[in-house]
Amino acid sequence: MVSVNPFAEFRAGCETALKDVLNRLYPQFSVPSILLESPPNPKFGELASSVCFELAKQTEKKSRKIAEQIIQIIDVSEFPLIQSVKAAGEGYINFYVNSEEFPRLTIESVRTLGNDYGYVKTSKPKRIIVEHTSVNPIHPIHIGQARNPMLGDALARILKARGHTVFRHYYVDDVGRQSAVIAYGYEKLGKPKPEGNPDSFIGAIYAITSCIMEIQRLKKEVERAKELSLNEELSRLQRELDDWTSVAADLEGRFPKLFARLLDEISKDEDPENPVSDLIRRYEANEEEAKQLIREVCQLCLQGFRETLGRAGISLDSWDWESDFIWNGDVMRVLDKLKATPYVFQVAGVLEFDAEKVARDLDLKETLGLNEDYELSSLTLVRADGTTLYTTRDIPYHLWKFQKAEKVINVIGMEQTLPQLQLKLALSALGHVDYAKNLIHFAYNLVSLPGYRMSGRRGRYITLDEVMDGAVKRAYEEVSKRSPHLSDEDKQQISEFVGIGAVKYALVEVDPTKPVVFTWDRVLDFEKNSAPYIQYSHARARSIIRKASRKPENPDYSLLTDPIERNIVLTLARFPEIFVDAAENLRPNAIADFANALADKFNTFYTRLPVIKAKPPQLSDARLALVDATRMVLRNALNLLGIEAPEKM
């Protein structure tokens, strides 16, 4: 007998047994939908019901008496996974799993289903787009942005394992000032070939060009303030200029040749803002020369992104260019449709969208999870100079996405909450309330490094590549210390997936709504709550199986009586339910928490109980099967996070 969800079968048996008795004893009683919960202490069983307290209110009987009456009638012989049912406390009903049948069902199900165990398939598969990463192509992906691809990739893996058809999309933000600034600097340099990583090279050009332009602007502002005797403003401007001057000194020290060439070339323009603004306008107008220039720069940066993400085991199905939706006319068509609604108005040449009026007219506040008294600000659609804004261009992009999928998940930082709400309301104003309801903003909090403030514009950041390099180096030192007998080639190989796995886990295991403080001590901890700790547990289980050099032919699961053994069995049995919760509620951190908890239990088991030398042989076989099942579930959980489960460490 094999089950895709052993604990759910036990739960279903308990619910059926309880409902049958309630229908017989209290036919007039409306049975609540949630009958059973996990008790806080194992001594109270694996599931417990407090239904007797509700019955006591309706019948004026004592809840304890009701519980005792119910357990006398329940016949557990009809339910092979239920060992016993007991009344406890003031009226709880506690259910206990069968100590032989439940471990057998759980362990054999894991070992039979193997790679598929835990991945319960949905009865309603959907086409889902997960848009993630979408870092602007202006500098390398840095650690402050790296949480996005790690969360997005984990979500995509979990949803795919659930049975959905998942498409991973990247939105290339190539329209606007930032891309134009890089293209301006890149052209000034004569469109050189990248030195080193292409995204790092582009990032240096962006930081230096931005810095030189900002200093030139501030110098003019300082002179103006002096001429007009604006002392307070002069003081503020001088502080800004001093700050940017120190940034320039730092950039010049790091990129002396690049800085000198850009300074010389940019200084030839009286006002660099003019050619940059002209480039923005010409690119939006799809002028061929501007198009070739900006696309070339963006492609160089994206090449670096592909290499970085590929190293982290992250792939994408589609790279969607923001500019395409301008050039093909979709943006103007959407604007025309919005203008035809009563929700667009003009102020001083600026086109605004009244998000609040849409929310009230269509009664969407509750649907969007907003309080009725929450006032939504309007969305600027078009500037006075005629150029569109990011969220404006996002509207046709999402109309396009919903032609390809039934649900869209945007993995975007919490700071984008308002634009994402405005986007949903714009879709609703266009008659697509269904799209708004199926557009999920998967919001996440920031990543910080103690004592380090990142700024792409100032060229101050620690790249994801640098973090992965550092993690691999530290992992190599730890692996060498723990396994000196391994060859250098093995150490290098193990260190690569341990280091990268450590970074991925650290960025996923924290609740997305909470910030991540990135410290090496926590990321590469081999003793608790980290990818290396879980990977080491998997490798340890694999080592036991190798050393046993036999298959468990005659296990007697009734001999698994130690509390830690029972605890591991229950944890393995609950994995499918944890997985379903993670998929349905978009909680990749729940998978990380589960894997860590299972690793904790397994390591306690490893230090406390013998496996290969256990007596009698039937107990040794049972424990060996338990180790094998634990190994498989650890692997399956890590796979959902895109982290490799090693054979040895």
pLDDT tens-digit series, residues 505-542 = 999 999 999 999 888 777 777 677 789 999 999 999 99
What does the alpha-carbon distance between residue 193 and residue 300 come to, in Å, rounded to a whole number?
A: 9
pLDDT digits (tens, 9 = 90+) for 348-359: 999 999 999 999
What does the alpha-carbon distance between residue 436 and residue 596 come to, in Å, rounded to a whole number?
A: 36
Average pLDDT of span 148-174:
98
Average pLDDT of span 197-203:
95
Closest CA relative to residue 435, chosen from 414, 415, 468, 410: 410
**339 with 299: CB under 8 angstroms?**
no
The pLDDT confidence band at residue 230, using thresholds 50, 70 and 90, is confident
The pLDDT confidence band at residue 1, using thresholds 50, 70 and 90, is confident
Average pLDDT, the chain: 94
Per-residue pLDDT, 279: 95
Which of 474-488, 534-548, 605-619 bottoms out in mean pLDDT, i.e. has the lowest?
A: 474-488
Per-residue pLDDT, 523: 75
Q: Is the pLDDT of residue 250 over 70?
A: yes
**What is the maximal distance between C-alpha atoms in the chain?**
95
What does the alpha-carbon distance between residue 143 and residue 495 come to, in Å, rounded to a whole number?
A: 20
pLDDT digits (tens, 9 = 90+) for 111-131: 999 999 999 999 999 999 999
Q: Is the pLDDT of residue 457 over 80?
A: no
Average pLDDT of span 425-450:
95
What tokens were used for 11? 């739960």
pLDDT digits (tens, 9 = 90+) for 276-286: 999 999 999 99
Helices assigned H by DSSP within 255-329: 256-266, 273-284, 288-311, 322-327
What does the alpha-carbon distance between residue 248 and residue 458 come to, in Å, rounded to a whole number?
A: 9
Paired residues of 96 in beta bridges: 84
Q: Which range among 19-28, 176-185, 460-469 has the greatest average pLDDT?
A: 176-185
The pLDDT confidence band at residue 448, using thresholds 50, 70 and 90, is confident
Which of 8-12, 87-91, 461-465, 618-622 bottoms out in mean pLDDT, i.e. has the lowest?
A: 461-465
Q: Count H helices, E strands: the chain? A: 24, 13
pTM score of the predicted model: 0.93
Cis peptide, bond prior to residue 140, ω within 30 of zero: no
Superfamily of domain 465-640: Isoleucyl-tRNA Synthetase; Domain 1 (1.10.730.10)
Per-residue pLDDT, 33: 67
pLDDT digits (tens, 9 = 90+) for 59-113: 889 999 999 999 999 999 999 999 999 999 999 999 999 999 999 999 999 999 9
Q: Is the pLDDT of residue 619 over 70?
A: yes
pLDDT digits (tens, 9 = 90+) for 263-314: 999 999 999 999 999 999 999 999 999 999 999 999 999 999 999 999 999 9
Domain spans, the chain: 6-98, 127-172+318-448, 177-311, 465-640
The pLDDT confidence band at residue 34, using thresholds 50, 70 and 90, is low
Superfamily of domain 127-172+318-448: HUPs (3.40.50.620)
pLDDT digits (tens, 9 = 90+) for 540-588: 999 999 999 999 999 999 999 999 999 999 999 999 999 999 999 999 9
Per-residue pLDDT, 212: 96
Per-residue pLDDT, 522: 74
Per-residue pLDDT, 388: 84
Q: Is the pLDDT of residue 16 over 90?
A: yes
What does the alpha-carbon distance between residue 415 and residue 460 come to, in Å, rounded to a whole number?
A: 21
Q: Is the pLDDT of residue 450 over 90?
A: no
Average pLDDT of span 381-395:
89
For the domain made up of 6-98, give the CATH fold.
Gyrase A; domain 2 (3.30.1360)
Per-residue pLDDT, 452: 66
Per-residue pLDDT, 456: 59
Helices assigned H by DSSP within 114-176: 147-161
Domain 6-98 matches domain 127-172+318-448 at the CATH topology level: no
What does the alpha-carbon distance between residue 584 and residue 260 come to, in Å, rounded to a whole number?
A: 54
Q: Is the pLDDT of residue 496 over 90?
A: yes
Average pLDDT of span 606-616:
96
